[in-house]
Amino acid sequence: MAAIIELQGISKHYSRTIIGVDNVSLSVEDGEFVTLLGPSGCGKSTLLRMIGGFEAPTHGKIRLAGQDVTHVPPYRRDVNMVFQDYALFPHMTVGENIAYGLKMLGKGRDEARRMAAEALEMVGLADKIDQRPMQLSGGQRQRVALARAIVRRPKVLLLDEPLSALDARLRDQMRIEMKHLHEKVGITFIMVTHDQEEALTMSDRVVVMEKGRVAQDGRPQDLYDHPASPYVANFIGTTNFLAARRSGAGVATAAGPLQVEEAVDMPDGAEVTVGFRPEKTRILAPGETAANALPARIAEVIYYGLGLRITVELADGAQVHVDTLLPDTLARSDVPRPGTPVTIAVEPHNIFVFPGKVVV
Amino acid sequence: MTQRKPLSRFAADTALMTYVALLMAFLYVPIWVLIAFSFSSSRSLTWPIPGFTLDWYRKLFANTDLQAAVVNSFYVATFATILALIVGVAAAMALHRLNFPGKTLFRRLILLPITLPGIVTGISMLNMFRLFGFNPSLETVILGHATALLGVVVTQVFARLQRLPRSLEEASSDLGAPPWKTFLLVTLPNIRSAVIGAGLLSFVLSFDEIPVTFFLTGRDNTLPMYIYSTMRRGVTPEINAVGTLIVLASLVLIILSVLLSRDRSPR
């Protein structure tokens, strides 16, 4: 498959010191669903707006299907956007909103209306064609905005925080619907979100951004299992961090030695930070032994329906989260009580090792 | 305690109602008096009016000077409004969309004619027209009015543009509309009520404008100038009749403006 979007060294400098996007290079395959993920102010929206043509990069080139479109205005770019506030035209009906972009393509009135009706059918709103956007619910407006963008069959569909204005239940539903829509229409989707769950569940590839740069770019699973930096490990999922030093084949933390599998090219004694996921951490049964066992004491137990999040305190006072699913046979008396001494363990292959000392 | 509360509230309500009634009377009794006197059979203004007559209206329709003045006023107000709208909407768009050095100064300069006394605008424009060799005429009045009204249009339209989400214009552009189509199909329909409102206000302001007109007009008189000049001979019932007709026309304009500027979609 060919790259449909190619960003080559894109930067957006607002002034000498204020840099929105810093030298980002990215290639998106035709038909891919790519998500730009990061906290607010990381430059993800600016990057998306530059792909849409609403802002011009100060450095670098944007190619769309091989053509340099860096300075092509939005109305001549074969790219469409779903805006965060949907930006439906309030003075037009739903049908007119969707037909708007078709008329600009030179479609006749009847054909535009027919195609608008088809697009509405696809998002399940066929009966709303003559209503005004104000009469629709948030979720319905979202679908109209999607239909309006997709009906032009652009090469790339841009989505700017498309689900952020919806309530939680509807958001879950729309996530799945949008993924299905992507599979159905076969258009490349580039989405911007600050919601890691959204990014992981919907996309083929996630680009994590930090301060205008790409922090990591990969499949959701790879990002989760092999975060490239503590920033990514912390942004995607939850991670326990412990300061340590390189020692022999493993590392030495203040609470005890740990075996690791990740190769670290660092001399003995170098400062490192280890990270591990709460759900990959176990509390050993009494008398059980395992690799990387560390003595600890239960500090807090939080029940969250699906399971328990247990916070334990290691020998040096560092706190570590342990997530466990609740076995259905668990009796009330088996729930660990704060103060109980326990032993926790993490498999060596589940430990990330990052160079340097990190404050997260 | 429980009994006194309704009583004090009753007193407060009565006081408020009285106040509102007095205020309304202060605003509207003069207009009713004007209307009543326009139908009075006596030439002197005495109350109660001795009898009912339509004579003054008849005289009005026979008065060619006055008719010419009305036509002149409509001519001036219409074209001054159109000119102010064209220039004003463009200026508001420029203020809204573009960032350029001296933007704040530009805005202040456009709004200045609102705060400047009409006399100053009148004298300075008269000087300028003299300098360029224009003779004072209704057309110079139009230019003068349009200048003074520019601020009204820009303020209203700019305020509306600021409330218009940027994303609407971006969406239009995204969907393939070049800038002029975006303006016609998306921006203008959404600032429509502000444009109409500013237009009607400009029309009314121009219609009864005296200071600028006084300096810039040639031999032709507008209605307020005509009324003013006849008034030197005292208030005649004829003037009352004109006044009544103007009130009627204003009423029509107000109803029109409410109907036209109502946004179709509640926001």
What is the pLDDT, as a whole number, of residue B82?
Answer: 96
The nearest CA of chain B is from the CA of A125 a distance in Å of: 20
> For residues B225 and B65, what is the distance between their CA atoms, to the nearest angstrom?
12
**A342 phi and psi, to 5 degrees?**
-135, 180
What is the pLDDT, as a whole number, of residue B265?
Answer: 43
What is the pLDDT, as a whole number, of residue B4?
Answer: 59
Spell out the SS3 assignment of chain B. Answer: CCCHHHHHHHHHHHHHHHHHHHHHHHHHHHHHHHHHHHCECCCCCCCCCCCECCHHHHHHHHCHHHHHHHHHHHHHHHHHHHHHHHHHHHHHHHHHHCCCCCHHHHHHHHHHHHHCCHHHHHHHHHHHHHHHCCCCCHHHHHHHHHHHHHHHHHHHHHHHHHHCCHHHHHHHHHCCCCHHHHHHHHHHHHHHHHHHHHHHHHHHHHHCCCHHHHHHCCCCCCHHHHHHHHHCCCCCHHHHHHHHHHHHHHHHHHHHHHHHHCCCCCC
Q: Per the CB < 8 Å rule, is A87 touching B165? A: yes
pLDDT confidence band for A360 (50 / 70 / 90): low
Q: Kindly tell me if the per-residue pLDDT of A343 is higher than 70.
A: yes
Percentage of chain A lying above the pLDDT 90 cut: 63
User: Are the beta carbons of A254 and A333 closer than 8 angstroms?
Assistant: no
Q: Which residue of B has its CA nearest to A101?
A: B175
* Mean pLDDT value across residues A256-280: 85
Q: Kindly tell me if the per-residue pLDDT of A358 is higher than 80.
A: no
Q: Is the ipTM of this complex over 0.90?
A: no
Superfamily of domain A3-232 in CATH is P-loop containing nucleotide triphosphate hydrolases (3.40.50.300)
Summarize pLDDT for A235-266 with one digit per residue, the tens. 998 999 999 988 877 888 888 888 888 766 77
Residue type, A271: E
The nearest CA of chain B is from the CA of A79 a distance in Å of: 7
Q: Are strands A3-13 and A33-37 parallel, antiparallel or unpaired?
A: unpaired
Q: Per the CB < 8 Å rule, is A85 touching B167? A: yes
Q: Per the CB < 8 Å rule, is B267 touching A91? A: no
What is the pLDDT, as a whole number, of residue B267?
Answer: 40
What is the pLDDT, as a whole number, of residue B262?
Answer: 66
What is the pLDDT, as a whole number, of residue B55?
Answer: 81
What is the pLDDT, as a whole number, of residue A333?
Answer: 56
Two structure tokens written together for A311:
């916070």
C-alpha distances in angstroms, B222 versus A341, B206, B214?
Answer: 98, 10, 9
What is the pLDDT, as a whole number, of residue B261?
Answer: 67
Neighbours of A207 (CB within 10 A): 24
What is the pLDDT, as a whole number, of residue B78?
Answer: 94
Mutation site, A54, A85, A91, interface B, largest B CB count within 10 A: A91
Give the domain ranges of chain B.
Answer: 63-261
> For residues A223 and A237, what is the distance between their CA atoms, to the nearest angstrom?
10
User: Are the beta carbons of B259 and B193 closer than 8 angstroms?
Assistant: no
User: Are the beta carbons of A246 and A263 closer than 8 angstroms?
Assistant: no
Two structure tokens written together for B28:
């509207």
User: Are the beta carbons of B85 and B195 closer than 8 angstroms?
Assistant: yes
- pLDDT tens, position by position, for chain B (267 residues)? 455 567 888 888 899 999 999 999 899 888 888 888 888 777 777 777 777 888 888 888 888 888 888 889 999 999 999 999 999 999 999 888 888 888 888 888 888 877 788 888 888 888 888 888 888 788 888 998 998 888 889 989 999 999 999 999 999 999 999 999 999 999 999 998 899 889 988 998 898 888 888 888 878 888 888 888 887 777 777 888 888 888 888 888 888 877 876 655 444
Window from A52-61, A130-139, B243-252 with minimum mean pLDDT: B243-252
Nearest to A117, CA basis, from A95, A143, A84, A138: A95
- CB contacts of A80 in chain B (<8 Å) are 174-175
Q: Kindly tell me if the per-residue pLDDT of A269 is higher than 90.
A: no
Residue type, B98: L
Peptide linkage before B48 cis (omega within 30 of 0): yes
- CB contacts of A74 in chain B (<8 Å) are 170, 173-174
Spell out the SS3 assignment of chain A. Answer: CCEEEEEEEEEEECCCCCEEEEEEEEEEECCCEEEEECCCCCCHHHHHHHHHCCCCCCEEEEEECCEECCCCCHHHCCEEEECCCCCCCCCCCHHHHHHHHHHHCCCCHHHHHHHHHHHHHHCCCHHHCCCCHHHCCHHHHHHHHHHHHHCCCCCEEEEECCCCCCCHHHHHHHHHHHHHHHHHHCCEEEEEECCHHHHHHHCCEEEEEECCEEEEEECHHHHHHCCCCHHHHHHCCCCEEEEEEEECCEEEECCEEEECCCCCCCCCCCEEEEEECHHHEEECCCCCCCCCEEEEEEEEEEECCCEEEEEEEECCCCEEEEEEECCCCCCHHHCCCCCCEEEEEECHHHCEEEECCCCC
The nearest CA of chain B is from the CA of A158 a distance in Å of: 11
Neighbours of A165 (CB within 10 A): 15
Instruction: Give me the sheet containing A19-29, strands edge to edge.
Output: A19-29, A3-13, A59-64, A67-68
- CB contacts of B265 in chain A (<8 Å) are 90-91, 132-134
pLDDT confidence band for A330 (50 / 70 / 90): low
Q: pTM, whole model, 2 decimals?
A: 0.81
What is the pLDDT, as a whole number, of residue A359?
Answer: 66
Summarize pLDDT for A147-203 with one digit per residue, the tens. 999 999 999 999 999 988 888 888 888 899 899 999 988 899 999 999 998 999 999
Q: Which CATH number fits domain A238-355: 2.40.50.140, 1.10.3720.10, 1.50.10.150, 3.40.50.300?
A: 2.40.50.140
> For residues A100 and B176, what is the distance between their CA atoms, to the nearest angstrom?
9
The nearest CA of chain B is from the CA of A154 a distance in Å of: 10
Give the domain ranges of chain A.
Answer: 3-232, 238-355
Mutation site, A50, A83, A190, interface B, largest B CB count within 10 A: A83
What is the pLDDT, as a whole number, of residue B263?
Answer: 55
Nearest to A166, CA basis, from A131, A140, A132, A203: A140
What is the pLDDT, as a whole number, of residue B3?
Answer: 55
What is the pLDDT, as a whole number, of residue A103?
Answer: 93
The nearest CA of chain B is from the CA of A216 a distance in Å of: 29
Residue listed under structure tokens 């299992």: A225
Domain B63-261: which topology?
MetI-like fold (1.10.3720)
pLDDT confidence band for A122 (50 / 70 / 90): confident
Summarize pLDDT for A2-37 with one digit per residue, the tens. 789 999 999 999 888 888 999 999 999 999 999 999
